[in-house]
Structure 1
Amino acid sequence: MATGEPPAAAFYEPLGDDRFAGSSATAGPWAPEFQHAGPVSALLGRAFERHGPGPGGGRVGRVTVEILAPVPVAPLRVTTRVVRPGKRVALLEGELAHEGRTVARATAWRITAAPEGLEPIENAPVPPPLPPPDSLSSAAFEGWAGMHLDGYLSSMEWRFVRGSFSQPGPGEVWARAKIPLVAGEADSPLVRTLVLADSASGVGSQIDFAKWLVINTDLTVALHRDPIGEWLFMSARLHASPGGSALAESTLADTSGSFGRGLQTLLVDTQP
C-alpha cells in the first residue's frame, strides 16, 4: 500500500551539464528500478521550454515522446536541438540518455501564440468540481495487487471522480504533484501537464493487468492553451482490438475548462 508521502523532495536532482539524477519518486508501478514516463516526459518538456526561442518566441503546443527502452532510476542526460527553425513554428527534438544509451526521444512544435483577439472555441464539457480533501488518494490503489506504489504514484495526489487505478475504466480524476519536477524549481504549466498525462492508460484502462501485458510505446500531448493552477483534471478511456493494439486517450482540463488532449499507443500481449 502506498504510504501517502512522497519518497523524495523532487523527481530529479540537477547534476549540472544537462544531467539529472532520477529520485525514487520517479519509480513507476511496474518495478521500483524503472521510471514512470510522466516525469520522463516532463523532463523533456522542460528542456524544450528552455531551449533558446527563435525570433518569433512562441509556446510549446505539442509534445510527442517515444519510449525506446525502460528508463532506469538513475542519472540521465538531456539534449535538445532545433530540426526545423521558423519564425512562426519550429520543430524541436530532444533525447534522454543513460550512460550513453538513448532511452527516450521526443519532438515538440513551438508555435507563435495566437492573437488576443481570437474568439475562444470550446467543444469539451466542463469538468466536474474538485472532490474534497477527504477523497483519500489511498483508496485509488485498493485491490491493485503487485504494483509498486511508493514511487511516482505516492508522489502525486489523486482525487478520483469516477473509477480508480484498480477498477476498470473509463476514469476521471483530479491530480497534482506533491513535489517539483526538479529540486529548487517551480513547475511550468507544460511540466505539470506532462507529469500527469502518461497516467491516462492507468486511469482509463479497461484491461486486466494481471492477465495481459500492457506497455505504452509513446505519449502525445497537444495543448490549445496553457493550464492554470496546480490541480489538473483527466478524463481517460481506452480502445483495444484483437489483431491490432490499444489506444488510451484523455481530455485534459483545469477549473476553467479543457486545455488539451493526450494519446498513447499501447502494446497488448499475453503475460510471459
Structure 2
Amino acid sequence: MTDRWFAESEPQHRAFYRSLGNGRYESSPATAGPWSPKAQHAGPPSALLGRALERHAARQGFRIARITLELPRPVPVDDLQVEVRTVHSGGRTELVEGELTANGKPVMLARAWRVAASPADTPQLRPEAGPPPLPESQAPQAMTGAHMDGYIAAMEWRFEKGKSFDTPGPGMVWARQRIPLVADEPDTPLTRALTLADSSWAVAFELDHHQQFVINTDVTVSLHREPVGEWLCMRSSTAASPHGSGLALGQFDDAAGDCGRILQTLLVAER
C-alpha cells in the first residue's frame, strides 16, 4: 500500500477510492462490505469499473445502457488495477469490457453495451407506478451481524417507516452516497447507480442468509435513461427454487420515476 490518505479510526472517509494514476486506485475502509472489514462491498468496485468503461474511448452521443459485472472472488480492501478494452465498435453500438485486479489476480470482470442515445421523439414508456416519496431523515441503519463501519455507513439509507435491512423482503429503500467514488472527482449517473446496485438483494432479504450461505455471483444493471439527482430508490424482490438458485430483481427510480432494472444471480448453499 502507498502512504495512507485516511485514518483507520475515521467513521467516514473522504471517498471510496483515491486515484494513484495509470489505472491504479487505493481503496479506503469505506469500501468494506457487511461481511468482513477486509472484503469490499461489490458496489464501489462495480462503479469503479463502470467509470473506466464510460471514459474509455468515449464517443459523443453514446451511453452505457447495460453493464454486467462478474464476481469471481471477493474484492480485497487493497490497491486495485483497472484495465479496459473495446471488443466491438460499430456505427450505433459498442461492446466494451474491463477487469479489476488485486495483487495480480482478477477480482471483478465487466462487459457493457454502449449505444447511441435514442432520438428526442422516442415515446416515454413507464409501465410501472412511480416510487413512494423520499422519507424524512433517519438514524443510521443497522444490520444484524454485519460490519457497519464501511460501505453501509458511507451510504445514507431511508427505508419505509418501521423497516430496515433486518426486515424480510420484498423491500424498498431510498439511498445516496455520503462520499464520492473517487477523491476530488465528480460522480456520474452511472457510477451512482452502480455504487448502489449490488445492495438490491440485501434490500430484498427473503432468503435467510443467517441459516444458509447466500451470495450473489453477478450484477446486471440496465438503464433506459440516465438517473437524475443523488438519491435513488430501489425496490427489490427475490425468487428461489429447491435444487436451483436465487434470483434478485430490483427496479431503479429517481424523483422522476422509473429509470432501470437490476438482476442478480444468488448462490444458495448450506453453511
**TM-score range for the pair, normalised by the shorter chain length:** over 0.9
Give the number of aligned pairs. 261
TM-fit CA distance, 1:137:
3.1
Q: Is the 1:66–1:104 contact (alpha carbons within 8 Å) kept by the matching residues of 2?
A: yes
**1-side partners of 2:248 and 2:123: how far apart?**
30
Paired letter, 2:65: G
Does residue 60 in structure 1 map to residue 64 in structure 2?
A: yes
Partner of 1:183: 183
Does residue 149 in structure 1 map to residue 148 in structure 2?
A: yes
TM normalised by structure 2 equals 0.94
| Matching residue within 25, 31, 36 for 2:41 | 36
Alignment of 1:120-269 (within 5 A): 120-133=124-137, 135-138=138-141, 141=142, 144-161=143-160, 163-269=163-269
Post-superposition CA distance 1:197-219 (Å, at most 9, x none): 10011001111221010110000
Q: Return 5+ residue gaps in structure 1 as ranges.
A: none
Paired letter, 1:158: W
TM-fit CA distance, 1:145:
2.7
TM-fit CA distance, 1:29:
0.3
Partner of 1:18: 23
**1-side partners of 2:189 and 2:144: how far apart?**
33
Partner of 1:79: 83
Partner of 1:114: 118
Post-superposition CA distance 1:210-265 (Å, at most 9, x none): 10101100000000000100110000111111100001110000010000000000
Partner of 2:3: none
SS at match of 1:137: coil
SS at match of 2:160: strand
| Matching residue within 88, 92, 109 for 1:88 | 92
TM-fit CA distance, 1:100:
1.3
| Matching residue within 96, 100, 104 for 2:104 | 100
TM normalised by structure 1 equals 0.93
Q: Is the 1:205–1:248 contact (alpha carbons within 8 Å) kept by the matching residues of 2?
A: no
**1-side partners of 2:20 and 2:210: how far apart?**
38
**1-side partners of 2:209 and 2:153: how far apart?**
20
Post-superposition CA distance 1:145-175 (Å, at most 9, x none): 3210110000000000263211110110000
**2-side partners of 1:173 and 1:32: how far apart?**
24
Post-superposition CA distance 1:124-162 (Å, at most 9, x none): 1100000011x3233xx2xx3321011000000000026
Q: Which moved more, 1:57-66 or 1:155-164?
A: 155-164
**2-side partners of 1:7 and 1:117: how far apart?**
44
Partner of 2:52: 47
- Post-superposition, which runs of at least 4 consecutive aligned residues in structure 1 deviate over 4 A? none
How large is the RMSD of aligned CA atoms in angstroms? Answer: 1.2
Q: Is the 1:14–1:20 contact (alpha carbons within 8 Å) kept by the matching residues of 2?
A: yes
Q: Is the 1:64–1:219 contact (alpha carbons within 8 Å) kept by the matching residues of 2?
A: yes
Q: Return 5+ residue gaps in structure 2 as ranges.
A: 1-9
Q: Is the 1:6–1:179 contact (alpha carbons within 8 Å) kept by the matching residues of 2?
A: no
